[in-house]
Amino acid sequence: MGLFMGIIRIVLPVVIVGGIAVFVVKRLKHKYDQGNLGKNKSKGAQDLLDSLIPLGMLFGSAIGVIFNMFFSTSLLFTVSLGAGIGLLFGCVAYGIYSKKRTNHS
């Protein structure tokens, strides 16, 4: 039973983060196909919009490291799960910010 639990602990973050990544890529592809991908007229706003997803992953990884300091979990598990959740939040922020900026422009 110990070997099975070890394999589950290794595969679980890959499955969760892989599912999140596939969802985000499919959602962005769908927006691109419809022509609804966020475009801004100012370069600064477009740079911020383009960097929301990587920033979400960076902050998610940092939160995973902080979470690991207080709870006894695997660092690899918390950082990878944090990056996946940050990817999802970055995609949501991308959608919200692109709607907000395109409506006012």
The confidence score (pLDDT) of residue 35 equals: 80
Structure tokens at 40: 């801004």
Tens digit of each residue's pLDDT (9 = 90 or more) over 43-60: 887 888 888 889 999 999
The confidence score (pLDDT) of residue 63 equals: 93
CA distance 97 to 79: 26
CA distance 19 to 22: 5
The confidence score (pLDDT) of residue 100 equals: 67
**Residue 4 CB coordination number (10 Å):** 8
Mean per-residue pLDDT, 20-42 = 85
The confidence score (pLDDT) of residue 62 equals: 94
Share of the chain above pLDDT 70, in %: 93
Please state whether the predicted TM-score (pTM) of the whole model is above 0.85: no
The confidence score (pLDDT) of residue 72 equals: 83
Q: How confident is the model at residue 101 (pLDDT cuts 50, 70, 90)?
A: low
| Three-class HEC string of 41-93 | CCHHHHHHHHCHHHHHHHHHHHHHHHHHHHCCCCHHHHHHHHHHHHHHHHHHH
**Residue 67 CB coordination number (10 Å):** 16
